[in-house]
C-alpha cells in the first residue's frame, strides 16, 4: 500500500490531528512548508505560494502542490486567477475544509 492510499481512507479531522505530530513521516520538506504556508495564507495560486515561501518561480512548488491535490487529496482547487505579470490563468488552491471527508479509494 502506498503512503497516499493510507491517507485516502481516513477522515480529514483524524488526518489533521495525526499529522500535527507526524507530517515528516508522510511528506517531504517541500510539502510540509507548502501545507504550512496554506495554513497561514488560507488560499493562493502556485505563484503566490512560491513567493510567500521565498522561491523565485512557481516551478519550485507546482509539482508538490499537484501531489497534494491528486495523490494525498489534502488540497483542492477553488478557482483561477489571472497572473498580471504573465497574463496566464493560475489555479487557486486551499487545504480542504476539515468537515469534508477524504475520498475513499
14-24, pLDDT tens digit by residue? 545 554 555 44
pLDDT bracket for residue 27 (50, 70, 90): low
Residue 79 reports pLDDT greater than 90: yes
The more confidently predicted of residues 71 and 79 is 79
55-72, pLDDT tens digit by residue? 888 989 999 999 998 888
E strand map for 1-105: 43-45, 75-82, 89-95
CA angle 64, 69, 70 (to 5 degrees): 95
pTM of the predicted protein model: 0.68
Domains and CATH numbers, the chain: 3-95 (1.10.10.10)
Amino acid at each position: 500500500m502506498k503512503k497516499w492510499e493510507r491517507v485516502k481512507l481516513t477522515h480529514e479531522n483524524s488526518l489533521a490531528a495525526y499529522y500535527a505530530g507526524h507530517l515528516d513521516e508522510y511528506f517531504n520538506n517541500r510539502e510540509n512548508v507548502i501545507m504550512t504556508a496554506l495554513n497561514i495564507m488560507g488560499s493562493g495560486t502556485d505563484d503566490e505560494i512560491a513567493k510567500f515561501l521565498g522561491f523565485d518561480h512557481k516551478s519550485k512548488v507546482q509539482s508538490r502542490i499537484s501531489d497534494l491535490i491528486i495523490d494525498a487529496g489534502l488540497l483542492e482547487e477553488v478557482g483561477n486567477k489571472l497572473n498580471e505579470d504573465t497574463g496566464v490563468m493560475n489555479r487557486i488552491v486551499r487545504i480542504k475544509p476539515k468537515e469534508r471527508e477524504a475520498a475513499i479509494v
